[in-house]
A and B are shown apart, each in its own frame.
Chain A
Amino acid sequence: ETGVTQTPRHLVMGMTNKKSLKCEQHLGHNAMYWYKQSAKKPLELMFVYSLEERVENNSVPSRFSPECPNSSHLFLHLHTLQPEDSALYLCASSQDSRGNTEAFFGQGTRLTVV
């Protein structure tokens, strides 16, 4: 275990549903990240939070809405998704978003949009 826990592990949702992905880290890190992993594509950074403040938003559609209530928890709220949004969504954390530190990844949430 890396110390980064994601729930649920699998999620199937319709295009009109609203769901949330949860990420929790017990490493004392102060930076957290959402990545999207699609088949045969590089990992895509979606959002970066440092000290609970969003510091990066990589042109992600508004149907993805992140929330970071504290340095240990990160959510990704989903609504009106499209089938092409089906992917593995990975959460990661690091000690600092700018410093010389390794990112630790969770196991991911496999999302299927039907």
Chain B
Amino acid sequence: QQQVKQSPQSLIVQKGGISIINCAYENTAFDYFPWYQQFPGKGPALLIAIRPDVSEKKEGRFTISFNKSAKQFSLHIMDSQPGDSATYFCAASRGSSASKIIFGSGTRLSIRP
């Protein structure tokens, strides 16, 4: 099964709060889990990615938490800012080859001032 399930579909967070987006996958052969950020009128851009040999990766205010046994991973945005308002896609693939990436359905995040 190739599907990547993402939730919630939309999320509203107050400025300064923590935004959490969750994803689950089924194919245990996946070994690369990127998150993409897409602003209106723009294409998706790679935000942060993780491989299953670590349980957490942090880059600035963005953190990926990875639970291999549960086949779940999540994106945490600390101190959320209005500029973080965008659609976020999780994805999974075998290797980071762009032709093999399976995307989640996206989460529309709105940060309220």
Chain A residues engaging chain B, CB cutoff 8 angstroms? 2, 4, 31, 33, 40-43, 45, 48, 55-56, 90, 92, 94, 96-108
CA distance A92 to B95 in the complex (A): 17
Which residue of B43, B95, B96, B102 is within 8 Å of A42 (Cβ)?
A: B102
Whether the pair A105, B43 counts as a contact (CB closer than 8 A) is yes
Stretch among B11-19, B69-77, B78-86, B103-111 lining the A interface:
B103-111
What residues on B are CB-neighbors of A94 within 8 Å?
A: 97-98
Interface string of B34-49 (1 = CB under 8 A from A): 0000000111111000
Chain B residues engaging chain A, CB cutoff 8 angstroms? 4, 9, 41-46, 89, 95-99, 101-106
Whether the pair A92, B43 counts as a contact (CB closer than 8 A) is yes
Which residue of B43, B97, B101 is within 8 Å of A108 (Cβ)?
A: B43
Least distance between A109 CB and chain B CB atoms (Å)? 10
Between A and B, 17 residue pairs with Cβ closer than 8 Å are A2-B45, A40-B106, A42-B89, A42-B104, A42-B105, A43-B44, A48-B98, A55-B99, A96-B97, A97-B97, A101-B97, A102-B98, A103-B46, A103-B98, A103-B101, A105-B45, A108-B42
Least distance between A38 CB and chain B CB atoms (Å)? 10
What residues on B are CB-neighbors of A42 within 8 Å?
A: 4, 89, 102-106
Closest chain B residue, CB of each to CB of A42: B103
Whether the pair B45, A33 counts as a contact (CB closer than 8 A) is no
CA distance A42 to B46 in the complex (A): 16
Closest chain B residue, CB of each to CB of A94: B98
CA distance A33 to B106 in the complex (A): 20
Whether the pair A98, B43 counts as a contact (CB closer than 8 A) is no
CA distance A18 to B99 in the complex (A): 27
